[in-house]
Chain A
Amino acid sequence: MVSLPAESPQASDHASRGRPVTRLERRSRWRWHEILFWLAVASCPLVVPDDLVLASQVLIAGLFALSLDLLLGYGGIVSLGHAAFFGVGAYAAGLLARHGWGEPISGLLLSGALAGLLGFALSFIIVRVRGIALLMVTLGVSLVLHEAAVKGYAVTGGDDGLQGIVLDPLLGLFPMDMWGRTAFGYSLAVAFAGFLLARRLVSSPFGLALQGMRENGRRMAAIGAPLRRHSALIYTVSAALAGVAGALLTQTTEFVSVEVLGFQRSAEVLIMLILGGAGHLYGAFIGAAVFMIVRDQLAAANPEYWFFWLGLMLVLVVLFARGGIIGGIATIAAHFRKGGSR
């Protein structure tokens, strides 16, 4: 039996004993705090009925960060241009709705598939480069798409954005309302479905192989893991999920701005993920929530300088809290557990 690479320091003691299968089973079991987390999210319409628009934005950003978490937190592949897929999904959904395909769910899936297709095509490029060249290529691809969207005025509306998007009622029953109730329910359902998919993926043998690649690519190659195929697959899945998030933004706001493809968005999603903690799935949503709420407050207080605090937050996280919020909680929890057993 091959010994599996440890996914994190806390988990290494689990990994050393027990067979991998039981470990996978244990990892894929639902824990009480997970159920609590989703119940808390679902209770938003009762707790904060006036902030549902923000809550949907958080869920969409969280789904986008989740797609990056699969790529970065699990696959260890850094991307500076993940907004490329988000933007392609957003524009695809917008263009579909504008040209008569107003049914939301099929539009969402189609847009995600399109982004996934782009991801699949690009994955052949991505697996060939590493390090700084990888950063530049991912950044470059998103810049190319951004330029194309700005200049392709006839199709995309250029800097003015894509307007005139009209959607059919969701499931034929629920039209988008101005309080964002439908939007919230829809975002929650899609984000949860995306989360289930991601959760299933990372607790599969493929997910373990990904983490092995992240920890030590050379050893994984030595035990015969097809690294390029794994990278290509996770890149495609991540792109499709990012596309779904983009499409969701379009459908809930009925507008596409050209900044869905911008560098700012790529940087922000990276920040959300790192802030929440990469490689935990939940870090994506928690990071998105903290980021969006802090931005909401700071931008309202001083719209010109809130960037400063964002930058400072990022610097501090990188220097002192590499695990992000989830990592911090895990450390504290481990500390208490150790203290309790003594």
Chain B
Amino acid sequence: MMVSLGNVLFNGLAYGMLLFVISVGLSVTMGLMGFANLAHGAFAMLGGYVATTLMNRAGVPFLLTLPIAFVAVAAASFVLERVLYRRLYRAGELDQVLLTIGLVFMAVAGATYVWGPGQQPVRMPDYLTGQWTVAGIDIGVYRLFLILVGIAVTAALVLGIERTRFGAMIRAAVDNPRMAQGCGINVNRVFSLTFMAGSGLAGLGGAVGINLIGLDPGFPIKFMVYFLIVVAVGGLGSIKGSLIAALLLGVFDVGGKYYVPEVGAFIIYAVMVSLLLWRPAGLFGRR
């Protein structure tokens, strides 16, 4: 059975949007703060568990769990940033990688302890199930919702960074942290808040994406590579780059699984390596 190109594109876009929502925070952390945070997937996982726990144990409606997941993960990341990450901003990426791998291991074991090793069951509300067929393409309502969330997040990020005072402070702090500090911008605080927002988005992505990519304790390791690919290929700190890289990754991953399942993720990794050789700073990264 051949799957139509339209279906692949639609499903790939939905998947790509989800990858974008989760990864964009990592792009910010790695680009703006120069911090190699391999534990980003753990934030997404935490968001997912917050959402499922609220839904399954307290009966909170799905849509309401999303902002709660965002806030909870942002708060958790604030604590981690203050206690751990801050100490290693000036250290080499090796130390950062080791610290965050350690955190990933702790998160995996902790999640297994609290929520058990299996997949989390999740029931989407009725208005997000079902699908329409438009011009031969099956439009799943849930996937359409993912795309809308992705668009909303993109719009909010672009407007926030281009049009608000805080966005201007972020841009200034990234361009030249010393000068920004000299102008009276509290660069550390700007970075902290940006980090929280990025982690919160990961939590939101983890919560909203459970129905598509699942949720189990292995999540941070399973998807770490995907998030890193989005960031490295898109270019550190570039929202546009992350979006394009995430959408490409989503479409090619879904397409690859439909059309050439025997090759698997091989192509994606190979393309990433060659792309990084061609442009070590990513598609839209600054050198």
Q: Which residues of A contact B (CB under 8 A)?
A: 72, 78, 80, 125, 128-133, 135-137, 139-141, 143-144, 147-148, 150-151, 263-264, 267, 270-271, 274, 304-308, 310-315, 317-319, 322
Contacts and interface: CB of A to CB of B under 8 A. Distances in A.
Contacts of A136: 228-229, 232, 272-273, 276
Contact of A307 (B98, B108, B276): B108
A148 B228 contact: no
Nearest to B108: A307
Given A128-B277, A147-B266, A315 B109 contact: no
A42 B92 CA distance: 37
A114 B107 CA distance: 37
A266 to B, nearest CB: 10
Contact of A133 (B263, B270, B276): B276
Contact of A313 (B102, B265, B266): B102
A129 B87 contact: no
A194 B128 CA distance: 60
Contact of B98 (A128, A270, A304, A306): A270
A318 B96 CA distance: 8
11 contacts: A78-B93, A125-B273, A132-B36, A136-B276, A140-B272, A144-B273, A147-B264, A147-B269, A263-B225, A308-B109, A319-B87
B264 A305 contact: no
B110 interface: yes
Contacts of A139: 225, 228
Nearest to A266: B101
B93 A311 contact: no
Contacts, number: 123
B106 interface: yes
How would you classify the secondary structure of chain A's contact residues: helix, strand, loop or mixed? helix
Contacts of B276: 129, 133, 136-137, 140
B105 interface: yes
B221 interface: yes
B51 interface: no
A319 B280 contact: no
B174 interface: no
A312 B106 contact: yes
A288 B280 CA distance: 33
A137 B273 contact: yes
B277 A125 contact: yes
Interface of B: 30, 36, 84, 87-88, 92-95, 97-99, 101-110, 112-113, 117, 221, 225, 228-229, 232, 236, 262-266, 269-270, 272-273, 276-277, 280-281
A318 B95 contact: yes
Contact of A311 (B106, B263, B264, B273): B106
Contacts of A143: 225, 265, 269
Contact of A271 (B84, B98, B103, B236): B98
Given A143-B225, A144-B270, A314 B98 contact: yes
A143 to B, nearest CB: 4
Nearest to B266: A147
Contact of B102 (A72, A132, A304, A312): A312
A69 to B, nearest CB: 13
Contact of A151 (B36, B98, B264): B264
Contacts of B229: 136
A110 to B, nearest CB: 26
Contacts of B103: 311, 315
A198 to B, nearest CB: 20
Q: Which 8 A-B pairs have the closest CB atoms?
A: A311-B105, A314-B102, A308-B109, A311-B106, A307-B109, A315-B102, A140-B273, A133-B280
A150 B110 CA distance: 29
Nearest to A153: B262
Given A133-B280, A135-B93, A270-B98, A308 B106 contact: yes
A322 B95 contact: yes
Point out which of B98, B106, B280 has the most chain A C-beta atoms below 10 A from its C-beta: B98
B266 A314 contact: no
Given A305-B113, A308-B105, A147 B265 contact: yes
Contacts of B95: 318, 322
Nearest to A317: B98
Given A136-B276, A314-B98, 6 more contacts: A78-B97, A264-B221, A271-B101, A307-B105, A308-B106, A311-B106
A130 B236 CA distance: 14
A340 B263 CA distance: 65
Given A78-B94, A270-B98, A311 B112 contact: no
A312 B109 CA distance: 11
A317 B84 CA distance: 13
Nearest to B106: A311
